[in-house]
Amino acid sequence: MNTALAVCHPCGWAEDAATRAWHERLAERFATLTPPTRKNEFWRYSRLSACFAPERAGRGLDCSFPEVEPLAGEWIRLDQGPPVAVHTRAWRLRSWSELDEATRARWRERLEPGEDYFAVRNLVEADAVLLLELEQTTDAPLQIQYRHGAGWVQPLLLVEVAAGTRGALVETFSSFGPSTQNGAVHLWLGEGAELTHGVFTADEEQALLHRVRARLGARARLDVQAFAAARGYQRLEWDVAMGESATLRLSGITQGEPEGSTDVALRIRHAAPGATTDVRWRGLVPAAAHSAVIGRILIEPTGQRTDAAMRLDHLLLADGAAADVKPELEIYADDVACGHGATLGRLDDEALFYLRSRGIPEVEARRLLIDAFLAPVLQRFTLAEVLRHVQSRLSLPDDAAA
Amino acid sequence: MMLTIRNLTVAVEGRRILDGLDLDIAAGEVHALMGPNGAGKSTLANVLAGREGYEVLEGEALLDGQDLLTMEPEARAQAGLFLSFQHPVEIPGVSNLQFLRTALDCLRKARGEAPLDSAALLRAAREAAQVLGLPADFLKRGVNEGFSGGEKKRNEILQMLLLEPRFVILDEPDSGLDVDALKLVAAGVNRLRRPDRAFLIITHYPRILEYVRPDRVHVLHGGRIARSGEAELAHQIEAGGYAAVLEGSVA
C-alpha cells in the first residue's frame, strides 16, 4: 500500500530573487525583535530560559537518531528539520525549491510574520520549508514524526487542504539530545475543507515551541486533538482565523510532568459571520509541574452570529503543582452566543472517600476520578493514532497518590 | 461478637461527639440505632468507615477481632464493612458499571477470589436495578449523577446487594423516601439477612423498622448508648418521643 518516494533534503528557502528579497526583509525585521517578556500577556507564564540553552542552529550538527520500525499507513519523518522518510500517496509533499513561482508568491503572501520573535525566527532560519497538499479526500491520517537532538531545529510546514476535501494529520514530537525545536505549521483550509489535526508531544524531553496558524475558508472545519506532556519546556500555540460559517473544535489535554512546564496559547479570531468555535482543554498537574493555558476568542464587528465556547479546566494533583488558566472573550459584535469558563481544583475528597469505602485502593480511586475528569475531552478524540498514544501515556503520575 | 465497640470517644474540631460508647452486635442480628438530631449517630457510622476529620481520643472498634480504627477505608471494606451513605456523592464521568466492576474486583481480589466475569456482573447488576426500580440506563450513567434522593438511596442498596458485605451500616436509609421506595430498600436489606451477616440501621424514625424487624434497638444520647431494648422500644419512641424513653437513663 505504501510507496516510498524519493527522499529529499531541502534546506530552507530556495534562492530565487523574489524569495531572497522577501527573506531579506524578514531578516531585517528579525534583527529588531527581542524574545518576549512576561509583560506580554501571552508569554506571562512562559519559562523561556530553557529554549536558549542550545545556542547554535541545528543544521549540520551531529546528531544520531535511533533506528525505528517504519510506521504503519501514511507517514513522514523529519530529523533535525528536513524529511528523511516519506511514505504517502494521498498527500503531495514538495520542498520550497520544487515549487513554481506562482505557488511561492501565494505562500509568501500568506506567511504574514507579525512581530512574534519565535515566529519570525522560524521563518528566517527555517531548516526545511515543505508544502503538503491534499486534493482528494482520504480517510488515512498522515503521521508527521519530528525528531530533534542538537541545536535549534526549525521546520516549517505549509499545508493546503483543497476546497471540499477531507483529511487528517497527526504530528508527533520526540527529542534525542539537548536542543530546541522552534517549529510551525501553517494550515490553509479551502472552502468546505475538513481537517482533523492531532498533536502529540509526550515523547518530548527538550524545549519545544510549536505554532499552528490556521486559516479556515467558508464552511471549513478544523478538529484539533492535542495531548501535551513536557519533561522540559513546551509551548503550543494555535492562531486560528475563522471563515464564514467555519467550525473549529479544539480539544486538548495537558499531562504535567515533574519539573516540566507546558504552556498553551490559543488565539481565535472571528471576523466572518456564522462561525462556531468550541474549545475544551483539561490539564493534570502533579507536584513540581507547571501548566498554563491562555485562550482568547476575538469577535470582530463583522463576526455576527458567532457561536463560541471555551472551557479550560485543571486538576492539581499534589502540593507544589502550579497552573495558570485564563480564558478571554473579546466581543465587538452584538448578535453572538458566547461562553467561557475555567476551573482549578483538586480531586474531590468526598468522591475519593466514597470509592475507597467500597474497597477501591486510594491509587485506583484517584485513577478513576482522573479518568472521569479527562473523559469529556477524551470522548472528542477520534483519531486512533492519537488515542493509542494517549492511552499508553495516561498513567498516574508517581506523586499523584501522595 | 461480629462488631465490638468499647469506650469509643471521638471529637470533631475539639468537641466530644461520642463519649465512651460501648456496643456489641452478633452475627445474624439487625440492630437499630436511634437518637435525636446531633446525638452522634452519623459520627459513629463515619468513624467506623474511616472518614477523615474525626479524632478518636479513646477506645476501640473490632470487626471479627480486627481493629477497624487503624485500617484504611478500603481495608475496612475489604474486611467486610459496608456503609450505606446518608448523602451519597455524585461522581460524574465514572459510570455505575465501571464503579461496580472496580469495587467488586478489588473486594474479590482481597478475598483471594477470581474476578467476576463481565457477563455475570452485568446480569446481577441489571437484575438488582430492576428489583430496586432504578432506570434502565442506570448502569451507563455516572455514579449517582442526576439521581433523585430516592434513587441515590436505592443505589446504595444495589451496591450492598452486589458487594455482599458481612457487616452493613445503613445511615438513615429511609430519609427522603416515599413509602414504596422505603419498602424496596427494606426488601433489599431483608434479602441479605443471613446468620453470618449483621446490620446496624441508623434512623430517626421507626417507620423502616416496620419492614426490617430489628433484634435490638439502641438510643444514642450524650455520646453513648443511653438505652437498649427489643423492637418494642422503637414504638415507645414513636409514641412518647426521646424524652420519655430517656427519662431516668444514664447519660
Mean pLDDT of A135-141: 95
Task: Measure A282 CA to nearest chain B CA, in Å.
Answer: 14
State the best of A358, A366, A394 to mutate against chain B, taking most chain B CBs within 10 Å.
A358
The burial of A226, by beta-carbon neighbours within 10 Å (0-12 exposed, 13-18 middle, 19 or more buried), is given as buried
Task: Measure A378 CA to nearest chain B CA, in Å.
Answer: 11
Per-residue pLDDT tens for B152-191? 999 999 999 999 999 999 999 988 888 888 898 899 899 9
- Is-contact A51 A141, C-beta < 8 A? no
Per-residue pLDDT tens for A259-298? 999 999 999 999 999 999 999 999 999 999 999 999 999 9
d(CA A187, CA A161): 8
Instruction: Tally the domains of chain B.
Output: 1
Which candidate from B51, B89, B106 shows the least CB-CB separation from A360? B106
Nearest CA in chain A to B102: A360
- Is-contact A402 A318, C-beta < 8 A? yes
> Considering the domain boundaries, does residue B215 fall inside one?
yes
Q: Looking at residue A53, what is its pLDDT? A: 78
Which positions ≥6 away from A204 have C-beta within 8 Å?
A173, A174, A175, A229, A230, A231, A232, A234
Q: Taking the alpha carbons of B121, B127, B128, B134 in that order, is the dihedral positive or negative?
A: positive
Q: Fill in the DSSP letter of residue A300.
A: -
Nearest CA in chain A to B74: A359
Question: Which residues face B35 on adjacent strands?
Answer: none
- Is-contact B217 B189, C-beta < 8 A? no
Task: Measure B167 CA to nearest chain A CA, in Å.
Answer: 13
- Is-contact B60 B67, C-beta < 8 A? yes
CATH number of the CATH domain containing B32: 3.40.50.300
Query: Which candidate, A338, A321, A318, places its Cα nearest to that of A329?
Result: A338
In chain A, residues with a C-beta closer than 8 Å to the C-beta of B111 are none
> Considering the domain boundaries, does residue B7 fall inside one?
yes
Whether residue A395 is predicted with pLDDT greater than 90 in this model: the reply is: no
> Considering the domain boundaries, does residue B241 fall inside one?
yes
Task: Measure B55 CA to nearest chain A CA, in Å.
Answer: 17
Q: How far from each other are the two terminal CA atoms of chain A, in whole angstroms? A: 49
> Considering the domain boundaries, does residue B192 fall inside one?
yes
Whether residue A203 is predicted with pLDDT greater than 50 in this model: the reply is: yes
Which candidate from A348, A351, A361 shows the least CB-CB separation from B74? A361
Per-residue pLDDT tens for B1-56? 899 999 999 999 999 999 999 999 999 999 999 998 889 999 999 999 999 999 99
Which candidate from A351, A361, A362 shows the least CB-CB separation from B91? A351
Provide the residue count of chain B: 251
Q: Which pTM value belongs to this model?
A: 0.88
In chain A, residues with a C-beta closer than 8 Å to the C-beta of B94 are 355, 368-369, 371-372
d(CA A225, CA A247): 14
- Is-contact A354 B84, C-beta < 8 A? no
d(CA A143, CA A90): 12
Helix (H, G, I), strand (E, B) or coil at A15: coil
Q: Looking at residue A324, what is its pLDDT? A: 94
Query: Which candidate, A197, A400, A179, A376, places its Cα nearest to that of A281?
Result: A376
Helix (H, G, I), strand (E, B) or coil at A308: strand
> Considering the domain boundaries, does residue B185 fall inside one?
yes
Per-residue pLDDT tens for A293-318? 999 999 999 999 999 999 999 999 99
Per DSSP bridges, beta strands A91-95 and A128-134 are antiparallel
Using the structure block, give the residue that is written with the C-alpha cell 438505652.
B227
Task: Measure A375 CA to nearest chain B CA, in Å.
Answer: 6
Question: Which residues face A269 on adjacent strands?
Answer: A241, A298
- Is-contact B7 B26, C-beta < 8 A? no
List residues of chain B with CB under 8 Å from any CB of chain A: 49-52, 72-74, 76-78, 82-83, 85, 88-89, 91-94, 98-99, 102-103, 106-107, 110, 142-143, 159, 163
The burial of A326, by beta-carbon neighbours within 10 Å (0-12 exposed, 13-18 middle, 19 or more buried), is given as middle
> Considering the domain boundaries, does residue B144 fall inside one?
no
Q: Looking at residue A58, what is its pLDDT? A: 67
d(CA A208, CA A233): 6
Using the structure block, give the residue that is written with the C-alpha cell 483539561.
A282
Query: Which candidate, A203, A158, A196, places its Cα nearest to that of A181?
Result: A203
d(CA A245, CA B225): 70
Helices (H) and strands (E) in chain A, counts: 6, 20
d(CA A131, CA A128): 10
Per-residue pLDDT tens for A206-265? 999 999 999 999 999 999 999 999 888 999 999 999 999 999 999 999 999 999 999 999
Per DSSP bridges, beta strands B30-34 and B198-202 are parallel
State the DSSP H helix or E strand holding residue A117, giving kind and residue range, or none if neither: helix A117-125
Interface touch A359/B78, C-beta < 8 Å: yes
Q: Taking the alpha carbons of B131, B134, B137, B143 in that order, is the dihedral positive or negative?
A: negative
Interface touch B98/A368, C-beta < 8 Å: yes
* Cell numbers that stand for B172 in this block: 438513615
State the best of A357, A366, A370 to mutate against chain B, taking most chain B CBs within 10 Å.
A357
State the best of A282, A353, A364 to mutate against chain B, taking most chain B CBs within 10 Å.
A353
DSSP A351-402: HHHHHHTTT--HHHHHHHHHHHHHHHHHTT---HHHHHHHHHH-PPPGGGG-
Interface touch B72/A356, C-beta < 8 Å: yes
DSSP A130-184: EEEEE-S--SSPEEEEEEE-SEEE-EEEEEEE-TT-EEEEEEEEEE-SSEEEEEE
- Is-contact B144 B155, C-beta < 8 A? yes
Interface touch A368/B106, C-beta < 8 Å: no
Nearest CA in chain B to A375: B93
Using the structure block, give the residue that is written with the C-alpha cell 513522514.
A76
Which candidate from A351, A362, A365 shows the least CB-CB separation from B89? A351
Domain that holds residue B194: 3-91+167-246
d(CA A275, CA A255): 30
List residues of chain A with CB under 8 Å from any CB of chain B: 348-351, 353-362, 364-365, 368-369, 371-373, 375-376
> Considering the domain boundaries, does residue B49 fall inside one?
yes
State the best of B42, B86, B94 to mutate against chain A, taking most chain A CBs within 10 Å.
B94
Percent of chain B whose pLDDT exceeds 90 = 80
> Considering the domain boundaries, does residue B145 fall inside one?
no
Q: Looking at residue A311, what is its pLDDT? A: 97
Per-residue pLDDT tens for B99-130? 999 999 999 999 999 998 999 999 999 999 99
* pLDDT-based confidence at residue A400 (cuts at 50, 70, 90): very low
Interface touch B93/A356, C-beta < 8 Å: no
Which candidate from B52, B82, B89 shows the least CB-CB separation from A354? B89
Q: Could you report the predicted ipTM of this complex, rounded to two decimals?
A: 0.96
User: HEC profile for chain B?
Assistant: CCEEEEEEEEEECCEEEEEEEEEEECCCCEEEEECCCCCCHHHHHHHHHCCCCCEEEEEEEEECCEEHHHCCHHHHHHCCEEEECCCCCCEEEEEHHHHHHHHHHHHHHHCCCCCCCHHHHHHHHHHHHHHCCCCHHHHCCEECCCCCHHHHHHHHHHHHHHHCCCEEEEECCCCCCCHHHHHHHHHHHHHHCCCCCEEEEECCCHHHHHCCCCCEEEEEECCEEEEEECCHHHHHHHHHHHHHHHCCCCC
d(CA B242, CA B251): 13
* Cell numbers that stand for A339 in this block: 461562553
In chain B, residues with a C-beta closer than 8 Å to the C-beta of A358 are 77, 82, 99, 103, 106-107, 159, 163
